[in-house]
Structure formats: C-alpha cells, structure tokens
A and B are shown apart, each in its own frame.
Chain A
Amino acid sequence: MQVYLDNNATTMCDPQVVEVMQPFFSELYGNPGSLHKYGTATHPYLKKAIDQVYTAINASDEDDVIFTSCATESNNWVLKSVFNDLIVNGEKDHIITTEVEHPSVLSTCRWLEEQGVKVTYLPVNEEGIVEAHTVKSFITDKTALVSVMWANNETGMISPIKEIGEICKEKGILFHSDGVQAVGKIPVDLQDVHIDFVSMSAHKFHGPKGIGALYIKNSQALSPLLHGGEQMGERRSGTLNVPYIVGMGKAIELATTDLEEKTAAIRVKRDRLEDALLKLSDTFVVGSRERRTPNTILISIRGVEGEGMLWDLNNSMIGASTGSACASEGLEANSVMLAIGADNELAHTGIRLSLSRFTTDEEIDYTIEQFKKAVTRLRAISSSFAKVQPTVGGEAGECHIPHHMAH
C-alpha cells in the first residue's frame, strides 16, 4: 500500500479536473485575446471557470478575481504593489505580517525591508495563532498593509481573520490574507469577512500546479506586477492559461460544494489518526482541533528525529513532511516551528501529516500501523530512551556548543 499524506504541500489533481482541461491543449487552443473563432471559442469555458471561482469564495460581482501563475505570484503582487502604491508613491512606511507566514510572504517582506520598508513580524501564541489584539496593537498611521495568512500550512491553525478584518476596516488599512491553505478546507466567504486581497493556489485543492488567483475587493487599485499585453482587464498580463484556468474552476467547485460534508469525512479520519498516534507515549500535537484545518496534524514524537521518521515512513511508502532542520537544504529549522517555540523540540521532532478527500480508511489504518512501527524502531535506537546512564562527567549539556568553546 502507498499513502500520500502530504496534501498541504500539494495534492493529486482530481481526474475530473484533468478531464475538463483536456480539450484546451490540442482542440480549443486559440488565444482568448484573438478576434477569430479559435480564440472566442474558449470564452464560454473561461466564463464558467470565473463563475466557479466567484461562487466558491462568494466574491461579489464588484470584486476582481485575477488568475495568476501561483500563490507565490499573488503574494508578491500584493506586497510589492502596495509598497509601490502607498509607500514609494505615498506617505506610508510600514507593513505588518506574522512570523509564521509562507516564505512567499516572508522573503518578500525581507526584500521590502532592504528597500527601506518597516516590517513588523507578529509573534504567535503557543497554538501558533496570531491574536487579533496583537495585530491591533502594532497598527500605526503609517501602516500600509496587514498580511496575515488564513490558515497555516505547517500547523493548519486558522487565524482570526474576521476580527482582524474588522480591525483593518475600522482603521482604514489594507488587509491581505494568504488563503492558500483555507480554500477547500474551511469555509471562505468573502461577503462574511472584510478582506481586501486573498491569494489562492489550485494545486492545494486538487487542481493543477502553476495556476492561482488573487481576489481584489471592489476592484480596487493595485498596480500590476506583470506588464505586457494587458490581459485580465489590464491587471495581469500574459496570455490566459486556458486549460489551467478551466481546471482551477472545476477544482475549486469540486472542493467547495458540500464543503461541510466533505471536510467532515476528512476530519473523522484525521481525528482517528490523531487519536491513535497520541496513544504513543511522549507525543503532542500542535493546536486544538477546533481551530485547525480538518486535514492537518503536526505531531512531535519525543526521541525521534523528523528526518529519520520521514525516512522510515518513506520506506513504508508513506509520504509525509517534517520541519526538521536536518531535512532542509540549508539545515535551517522551520521558522514556523521556531515561532511556536515548544522548547525547540518541534524543530527537530515535528512530523506533519495532511490528508485529503482521497484519503481512505484503509490508508489511515495502514499509516497508524506503520507509524507505530517506525516510532518503535527509532526509539529503540534513540539515545533519548537509552537506559544505561553516562559515566560521571560524560553527560552532555542541553544544546552542544562547539567543543573548544568549553574553556
């Protein structure tokens, strides 16, 4: 059996989505910007996709939803254009975000800092959530933008978006939310919450990779990131990616119709998996289930290093993810894990399991069994569970300093 439990990284493209995309490669391949029938033949399908997206997030007809190449582009667009419009060409100088954003927000903010922008990275509580009053306390009359993700990719924790939206509305400050991990997992109703910009990405809800969107409330001003042929009402240039837009429309429709029922089914499996894993001694899961996306578990297993755990799971054909520094290219601990703190342990022992609507009960059973096997094996090797104590003088301190630093 093989089990894919890394759906916060990306998802399987739903075969129904692949099917609706198919005609737009070699049959209906016209450029939607052309006057001839080859081009215009695509219009009804694009209109449908646009309707599907508007419906899924309950956008009003006054709002814009602009297709982009990915959420990274959407996030860059908002941050860089707000910088251009309100900071370079305005009186503002400050942006507020959080320590737990995706790198597409964090790295862009670091870059903006190099351009002279003041950026506040808000801390999170022990559940990994930024609290609305914290956001409020950092807003000044120079603040141009607040950017807080809707749900976190590592922990699944859901931000108090509605409250933050109210605060920003009251203060007249632009509010952007990276909605990548929210769309298709929890209700996203843009008439219910006040948000100026929302980023999303199709490959996180069983659509294709390389297509995303940016929601812009009331079609408000935001200078374009990509200049060119002035597609999408001059907001985002580049020949429309017809098959992918059609695919994203289908995917978001499939992901959001009967959202409650679909996610309830995922939640049941997630909870069963989580309950079973928590029966193992010395484990903990980040964040309460109520405030978490229904598909995500971030579990820490004492004595078992994340990359080692991933290795064993991979040997059992289970795909998961870890924030462990050892598993990253640059040996850097995951910033979300560090922001949550948890005694540094999470940074080394955190394993993220993220389900999808395609996850089956059999897969959960198999995962529970293999997970336990891996923990048993690795704990048998682990020094954290060794019985014979070190010779007097042979103990190690909490975190090792280079050996020649001891004197």
Chain B
Amino acid sequence: MAKDDLLGASLWDAYSDKVTTLMNNPQHQGEITPEEAESHGNKLIVADFGAESCGDAVRLYWEIDPKTDKIVNSKFKSFGCGTAIASSDVMTELCIGKTVQEAVKITNIDVEFALRDEPDTPAVPPQKMHCSVMAYDVIKKAAGLYLGVNEESFEEEIIVCECARVSLGTIQEVIKLNDLKTVEEITDYTKAGGFCKSCIKPGGHEDREYYLVDILADTRREMDEEKMKAAADAQAEGAGNFEEMTLVQQIKAVDAVIDENVRQFLIMDGGNMEIIDIKKDEDNIDIYIRYIGACNGCASSATGTLYAIESTLKEKLSKKIRVLPI
C-alpha cells in the first residue's frame, strides 16, 4: 500500500488495446460443424473446458488435416469476461497453421503475450492473468482427444501456479536455495501467486491441489529436518564433541564408525560384533563390545582386530576410547 494504491486499480483501464478490440470484436468466434470439416476431408475436434457454474467456460474447435496433423481452421465459443473472450480469440489464432504437436506447446503465457500492445506491458491486470490459463488447458484437452492420449501426458511437471506457470520443483528449489520464509518472497522470486492468487492458499478463486502456503511449510520443515540431521551427522563425526554426547548419541556414533570402517571385514570373515555398553570417567571412555559368530573365539579378535577397532574409534571419535571385549 502506498500513494499509487490509494484508489485501487481500475480494472478495465489496465486492459491492452488488443484485449479491448478483441472483446468488442472477436475474430475467431463461431463453430465448425462436422459436415464442414468432413467436406474438406478433415477431422473435427471439439473440446470443452470450464463451465458456466465456475465462472468461465470455453469450447475450442479444431479442423485438422489428418495427413499432416495440421490445424487448418479453428474457432471458439466462450462464456466469460472480456479477457476470457479475448484470450480465447488469440489462442485460436495461435493454433491455426500449427500441427497438433506444435499447438500443445502454446501456454497461457504465450496467449497473454500475444495480447500485449507493447512487449513490456502486461495485457491484463494481475488478477485477470488467470483467464488465459483456460486457453492452455483446452488446447491440451483437444490435443489429447486427437492424438488419443491422456492430456496429462503433455505436462512434464506439476504446475502449482498456473498463471505464472511455475512448477512444484522450481518453487521448492527457490525456497531452499534462497532460504525463503514467506509467500511474498516466493512471489518476488518466481511470480507464482502474483496473479489470481488461487494458488496461495485454499479459499481463493478456484480449488487447487497444491498451495504455496503448504509447499512453503513442507519445504521449511524438510529444511529444518535436514539441518537437524546435518547437525547430528556433524556431531557424530566431530571427535571433539564425542565426549559431550549423550550415551545414546555415543552409541550411535560408535555404531556409525564401526559400520563404515570395520563391520564389513568382520562379516567377510563370517562374524560380527555388537556394542554392549559405554562407561566413562575422567580419563577413559570404555566401550564394551561382544563378538558374534566366527569372531567369537577367533585368535585375532583379542589382538589385531581389537587393535584395529580401537585405533579407528580413537582416530574418528576420541583419544580417550578403550575397547573392551567381553
């Protein structure tokens, strides 16, 4: 909030001239009949997206040359506001002349871009960005129908913010890399959530599977857990700290060192060992172990092997360590 926001935005003034012109006079509004497509030897695909009860709906018509997969003609019908109609119109225009495979690559960002008067000025105010999303959805649906595949298959990643087309992976990554703590920061970094705001939290313009607030909370939790684990690992490895650890931490740390450096050799020889107890006083940390299997009674278990275990633990954890087999 500041001086410029005092009056609130004037919705219609923020529309580009192209949006206004196309709303007043859409170029590709209409229908293609099956007869018409057939008479050209072409295939007709008609796909719906949205419904009147949701506030916007679009029906897309594609007349496709089956030999080349090229969309030779396209029309639309739309229930929606001015930007929805203008977006549908531009989407239709962008489809014509492309193959179905090329058309699937058209995104809502392309549609919005095509509606701009100047490359750097958005065609619609932020909350209206969402109107172009439907254009993208209906294209995928039509392509799925034509190619006989599930429309999901065109989507390589999970898109959390449809307006800005930002994926789950990207959002998680920026949170981690930049240590982001608020949704506003996510919006600043990625633009996600900066438009219709549906993707920020439940209760917005439309229901979504992922919300930025949840992703932020989950990722932060993950980061915290990673941090704790890293701290624990550092503790386990840092010899200086070994003496200050709790008993449980010490047992775990010893186990980790044995796992990494010793156990495989014992197992190779058909044996193993376990930690029984740890006793400490001023000068010594006594680790009581028991040999299992082949090691039990093996000659070197009291000499060479024991020496190897003890020196490894001394090196990795603490000079005060003595290993006592029982």
A73 to B271 CA separation, bound complex (whole angstroms): 84
Given contacts A311-B12, A315-B24, A394-B145, is CB(A399)–CB(B82) below 8 Å? no
* Closest beta carbon of chain B to A203's beta carbon, Å: 18
Q: Which of B53-61, B111-119, B220-228, B294-302 contacts A (4 or more CB under 8 A)?
A: B53-61
For residue B198, which residues in chain A have a CB less than 8 angstroms away from its CB?
331
For residue A233, which residues in chain B have a CB less than 8 angstroms away from its CB?
none
Name the one of A326, A380, A401 contacting B207, with C-beta atoms under 8 angstroms. Answer: A401
Q: Counting CB contacts under 8 A, is B31 at the interface?
A: yes
Residue-wise interface mask of B (42-54) relative to A, using a CB-CB cutoff of 8 A (1 in contact, 0 not): 0011111111111
For residue A308, which residues in chain B have a CB less than 8 angstroms away from its CB?
23, 80-82, 84-85
Q: Counting CB contacts under 8 A, is A397 at the interface?
A: yes
Name the one of B49, B52, B56 contacting A326, with C-beta atoms under 8 angstroms. Answer: B56
For residue A302, which residues in chain B have a CB less than 8 angstroms away from its CB?
52
Query: Interface residues of A: mostly helix, strand, loop or mixed?
Result: loop
Q: Once A and B bind, how many residue pairs between them come within 8 Å at the CB atom? A: 154
Assess the A345–B59 pair: CB atoms within 8 A.
no
Interface size class of B (residues with CB under 8 A): 35 or more
Assess the B31–A407 pair: CB atoms within 8 A.
no
Q: Counting CB contacts under 8 A, is A386 at the interface?
A: yes
Q: Counting CB contacts under 8 A, is A133 at the interface?
A: no
* Closest beta carbon of chain A to B70's beta carbon, Å: 18
Q: Counting CB contacts under 8 A, is B142 at the interface?
A: yes
Residue-wise interface mask of B (146-157) relative to A, using a CB-CB cutoff of 8 A (1 in contact, 0 not): 000001100100
Within 8 A of B (CB), among A335-373: 343-345, 347-349
Q: Counting CB contacts under 8 A, is A240 at the interface?
A: no
Closest B residue to A396 by CB, please name it. B48
Assess the A397–B145 pair: CB atoms within 8 A.
no
Given contacts A307-B82, A331-B197, A390-B59, is CB(A404)–CB(B29) below 8 Å? no
Assess the B79–A343 pair: CB atoms within 8 A.
no
A144 to B78 CA separation, bound complex (whole angstroms): 50
Q: Counting CB contacts under 8 A, is A403 at the interface?
A: yes
Q: Counting CB contacts under 8 A, is A395 at the interface?
A: yes
Name the one of A327, A385, A397, A407 contacting B152, with C-beta atoms under 8 angstroms. Answer: A407
* Closest beta carbon of chain A to B168's beta carbon, Å: 10
Assess the A400–B51 pair: CB atoms within 8 A.
yes
Assess the A311–B23 pair: CB atoms within 8 A.
yes
Closest A residue to B208 by CB, please name it. A402
Q: Counting CB contacts under 8 A, is A393 at the interface?
A: yes
Q: Counting CB contacts under 8 A, is B33 at the interface?
A: yes
Assess the B127–A330 pair: CB atoms within 8 A.
yes
Given contacts A305-B81, A331-B205, is CB(A394)–CB(B48) below 8 Å? yes
For residue B48, which residues in chain A have a CB less than 8 angstroms away from its CB?
383, 390, 394-396
Q: Counting CB contacts under 8 A, is B140 at the interface?
A: yes
For residue A407, which residues in chain B have a CB less than 8 angstroms away from its CB?
152
Assess the B31–A387 pair: CB atoms within 8 A.
yes
* Closest beta carbon of chain B to A382's beta carbon, Å: 5
Closest A residue to B205 by CB, please name it. A331
Assess the B46–A397 pair: CB atoms within 8 A.
no
* Closest beta carbon of chain A to B315's beta carbon, Å: 52
Assess the B46–A398 pair: CB atoms within 8 A.
no
Residue among A333, A348, A400 having the largest count of chain B Cβ atoms under 10 Å: A400
A327 to B128 CA separation, bound complex (whole angstroms): 9
A397 to B207 CA separation, bound complex (whole angstroms): 14
Assess the A404–B209 pair: CB atoms within 8 A.
yes
Assess the B152–A345 pair: CB atoms within 8 A.
no
Q: What are 15 sample pairs from A and B whose C-beta atoms fall under 8 A apart?
A: A305-B56, A305-B79, A311-B81, A326-B81, A327-B81, A329-B11, A344-B54, A348-B53, A381-B29, A388-B33, A388-B46, A391-B45, A404-B155, A404-B159, A407-B152
20 additional A-B pairs beyond A308-B80, A311-B12, A382-B77, beta carbons within 8 Å, are A304-B79, A305-B81, A307-B81, A307-B82, A308-B85, A311-B23, A326-B81, A326-B131, A331-B204, A381-B26, A383-B48, A383-B58, A383-B59, A384-B79, A388-B61, A394-B141, A398-B51, A400-B206, A402-B209, A405-B208
